[in-house]
Amino acid sequence: MAPFFDESRIDSDEALAALDSRQTLRGLATAGAQVREAVDLSAEGSIERVGGGERPRSVLVASLGGSAVVCDVLELLAEPGSPVPVSVRRNLPLPGWVGPLDLVIAVSLSGRAPGPLALAAEAARRGASLLTVGAVDSPLADVAAQARGVHIGVGRGRSTSRTALWSLLAPVLLGAGRLGIVDVDDRVLAETADRLDEIAESCRPSSESFVNPAKVLAADLAEGVPVVLGDGPLNGVAAARATSMLARTARVPATSGELPDDAAQVVACFDGPFTAAYSGGSAGSSGGGRGDDDDIFTDPFLDGPAAPRLSLLMLRDVLPDRMTREADEARSLAETVASAARDVGVRVSEVTAQPGHPLTRLAGQIATTDFAATYLALGLGLDPAVSPHVADLRGRAG
């Protein structure tokens, strides 16, 4: 049985204020401002000194938890044309090849995350160049100072990495851009900040459910078990971020994939127990794509509650000005998957990127799904920032 999603909660200022104890919606709405502030803080922190101003032999980036997407975005943007390899590491050991010719980027909002902190310390011991991003007065900042690296602080009021993503990501991209590893500069970041402001405006709490894209998406996602599928590498990163936000913020289990590689494993689920096609091996199944849950004569009190259904969220990129064969094949595959989903009663939602630089397009996709996950939590009556089980886990681990 699907959880109860109350749309009146997400349209009520009083309900939102009562549930959103740490102002998660407000934090997400500051994304554009975070980018602009990060550019200023990067200049103050002498971002031009990254790597000694010289291109490194390789780049290794470390971030985890709510900051994990920083690694994914840098890897995505570097892949098409970076003159040096970019790799990702979440924790020790630091690869043996890292040495004085390499750059290690470590990101942690608090500056105390064990994995990035340990990797930065080991990189410093080996004489590698360091770029760290996090709290100013923190162990991570101390490591960078001792190694004569560059540390970029984050703005005040950044309480969680889930809502401070752009305070962490912008300096990393700006530093990588200065080294020619990614095609990102102040102009691209300004464009991205504007896009984030546009999403924040359209997804603002005062916008009614029927016109607010994030609220509409939240209501759709509440009706099933979400599968988030990106139509390529860019939206694959956005899909992974969306599943993380759905789990951590809305407490909804979700899985993600990227076309074309994950098409088969997603479509295989359309035969399973969370769609109308599932017969459970019963001899009486009609095999026509309708399951018992669609039977108008089913009595939920006698027959039990209906099983939850899959819902498919397709994250789509804008069509290129000139359609290549690869782009046309990707578009066709996405349409085929969506059509197959609808045939077995899977609710299909789509979020399509608006034109712009790859970072700007990605920012719009991430912002929309971040807001949707938060509205989903609030519509379910949950505080998006406070999980008793996570607090208990931390207490036991500590």
> Options 3.30.1330.10, 3.40.50.10140, 3.40.50.10490, 3.40.630.30; which CATH number does 24-195 get?
3.40.50.10490
> Which pLDDT does position 283 carry in this prediction?
41
CA dist., res. 75 & res. 385, Å (int) = 28
Helix or strand holding residue 139 (H, E): helix 139-146
Is the separation of the CB atoms in 136 and 9 below 8 Å? no
pLDDT at 398 over 70: no
Residue type, 124: A
Q: What is the mean pLDDT of the chain?
A: 91
Q: Higher-confidence residue: 362 or 275?
A: 362
Taking phi over 0 as left and psi of -120 to 50 as alpha, with beta for the rest, 357 belongs to beta
pLDDT of residue 185: 96
Instruction: Please provide residue 319's backbone torsions phi and psi, each rounded to the nearest 5 degrees.
Output: -70, 135
Q: Which of 181, 124, 166 has its CA nearest to residue 149?
A: 124
pLDDT digits (tens, 9 = 90+) for 242-285: 999 999 999 999 999 999 999 999 999 999 999 988 866 544 34
* CA distance to 1, 108, 223, 293, per residue, from 304 (Å): 9, 47, 18, 10
What mean pLDDT is predicted for residues 345-373?
A: 97
For residue 329, the SS3 value is helix
The 3-state DSSP class for residue 86 equals strand
For residue 255, give the H/E element and its range.
strand 255-258
* Contact of 9 with 19, CB cutoff 8 Å: yes
In the chain, the amino acid numbered 255 is T
Beta strands in 47-197, from DSSP E residues, in sequence order: 59-62, 86-88, 103-108, 129-134, 150-153
Collapsing DSSP to helix, strand or coil, 83 comes out as coil
**Per-residue confidence (pLDDT) for residue 326, from 0 to 100:** 85
pLDDT at 3 over 90: no
What phi and psi values does residue 29 have, to the nearest 5 degrees? -70, -15
Residue by residue, DSSP assigns 346-396 as -EEEEEEPPSS-HHHHHHHHHHHHHHHHHHHHHHTT--TT--HHHHHHHHH
DSSP at 122 = H
Query: How far is 332 from 370, CA to CA, in rounded Å?
Result: 27
How does pLDDT run across 122-181, given as a tens digit for each residue? 999 999 999 999 999 999 999 999 999 999 999 888 888 999 999 999 999 999 999 999
Structure tokens at 196: 């984030």
pLDDT in tens, 334-352: 999 999 999 999 999 999 9
Give the dihedral sign, CA 279/285/288/292: negative
Q: Tell me: the pLDDT tens digits for 180-193? A: 999 999 999 999 99
Residue 289 has pLDDT above 90, yes or no: no
Hey, what are 267's tokens?
A: 């479509």
In whole angstroms, what is the distance from residue 350 CA to residue 358 CA?
Answer: 19
Q: Let me know if domain 7-19+197-278+305-389 sits in CATH 3.40.50.300.
A: no
Residue 291 has pLDDT above 50, yes or no: no
**Please, are residues 233 and 72 in contact by the beta-carbon 8 Å criterion?**
no
Would you state the structure tokens that stand for residue 330, as one six-digit string?
A: 């990707």
The continuous run of DSSP H or E covering 336 comes out as: helix 325-343
Write out pLDDT tens, residues 6-43. 999 999 999 999 999 999 999 999 999 999 999 999 99
Task: Check residue 325 and give its pLDDT.
Answer: 86
From-to residues of CATH 3.40.50.10490 in the chain: 7-19+197-278+305-389, 24-195
Helix, strand or coil, per DSSP, at residue 270 = helix
Give the Cα separation of 373 and 292 in Å (integer).
30
**Taking the alpha carbons of 370, 374, 380, 386 in that order, is the dihedral positive or negative?**
positive
- State yes or no: pLDDT of 286 exceeds 70: no
DSSP letter assigned to residue 36: H
Contact call for residues 76 and 234 (beta carbons, < 8 A): yes
The pLDDT, as a whole number, for residue 36 is 98
Q: What is the pLDDT of residue 80?
A: 86
End-to-end CA distance of the chain: 36
| pLDDT the model gives residue 391 | 80
Segment 76-103, tens digit of pLDDT: 999 888 999 999 999 999 999 999 999 9
